[in-house]
Amino acid sequence: MTPPTMSKRERLLALAAGQPADRPAVALWRHFPGDDARPDDLAAAHIAWQRTFDWDLLKVTPSSSYCIQDWGVRAVWQGGDEGTWTYQNTAIQQPTDWERLAVLDPAAGALDQARQAVKSVCQAVGPDTPVLMTLFSPLAQAKNLAGPSLLPHLRQHPDAVQAGLEIITHSVLRFVDALADTGIAGIFYAVQLAEPSRLSRAEYAQFGQPLDMRILTAAGGFWFNMLHAHGLNVYFDLLAGYPVQALNWHDREGGPSLAAGGARFAGALSGGLDRRTVHLAAPADVRREAADAVQQTAGQRLILSTGCVSMTNSPLSNLWAARRSVDG
């Protein structure tokens, strides 16, 4: 028997629990370059995005530099389909620089601006729209703090890097606490470097996983947290054990497939669309991938999405094809 029409919250909770839902969920997210330089404009861009497409969840996507700007990192918007900024410098040059990082204040600087933006979004879209705030893992932040120095430092000066990661983690934990009164449903926790081309499994288990677990445990008071496993050959089995309600990964670009991933992760599965298809192909191609995603999952536990951010200039017809593909 098909369940009656559900609210967005009811739908997401059912999908995460593996229970019948009235339909799969659908959500796309993207950067808003230029607008993400100012909290009011960042909020307005997300509000317009949600009011246009009525996604089942709204992921707030600041510039990736928002969490490290207050350590002195500078980034600029120079164009590009993905909408990401270009880093102009690093805050870490010498191994001793890791221990000199200060714990950031979530009520000041770029962190506070991001918090105010997501709070404005939640107030505008109301409690019926689940909002997720993007948080980057400590190692993902360290990558942008140190650039190409990260891996040599990690392998040659592990104690210094570990000290820096502890400071970054403390800053993230304080920011998680500061998000408690914003109205978000949860966090979109972006993990990077958990793939053999960057770190060995043992290295990620030492430098990444314990900090990830501390942060996700701290975020456990939210009702819907999603993990984003960034990369084309991630340590899926390791990440599939994280305490989150949903897992998003590059299923079309790097695998595993939705069907294979669903056998290894018990919560909601976020994927099914190749962002290159959404960006470069035709609406019929988007609909074919959506139908295949539904077939792979039998329509259960599915949040139809791309495996990473959608491009800033993808055809509107393709976006609408994705949105309407779950409506039956």
Cα separation, 299 vs 302, in Å, equals 6
Instruction: Give the gyration radius of the chain's Cα atoms.
Output: 19
Q: Where are the domains of the chain?
A: 8-324
Positions of the chain with pLDDT under 70? 1-2
- Residue pair 305/274 in contact (Cβ under 8 Å)? The answer is no
Q: What is the pLDDT of residues 129-187, one digit of tens each?
A: 999 999 999 999 999 999 999 999 999 999 999 999 999 999 999 999 999 999 999 99
Cα separation, 240 vs 33, in Å, equals 31
- Residue pair 130/8 in contact (Cβ under 8 Å)? The answer is yes
Helices (H) and strands (E) in the chain, counts: 13, 10
- Residue pair 192/64 in contact (Cβ under 8 Å)? The answer is no
Establish whether the linkage from the previous residue to 256 is cis, with ω within 30° of 0.
yes
Q: What is the pLDDT of residues 228-260, one digit of tens each?
A: 999 999 999 999 999 999 999 999 999 999 999
Q: What pLDDT score was predicted for residue 230?
A: 98
Q: How far is CA 250 from CA 57, 211, 253, 273, 297, in A?
A: 19, 23, 5, 9, 16
Q: What pLDDT score was predicted for residue 328?
A: 72
Domain 8-324, architecture per CATH: Alpha-Beta Barrel (3.20)
* Sequence-ordered list of residues with C-beta below 8 angstroms from that of 13, at least 6 positions apart, any chain: 223, 224, 245
Q: What pLDDT score was predicted for residue 1?
A: 55
Tokens matching residue 38? 């100012």
Tell me, what amino acid is at 178?
A: A
- Burial class (CB within 10 angstroms; exposed 0-12, middle 13-18, buried 19+) of 4: exposed
Q: What pLDDT score was predicted for residue 2?
A: 63
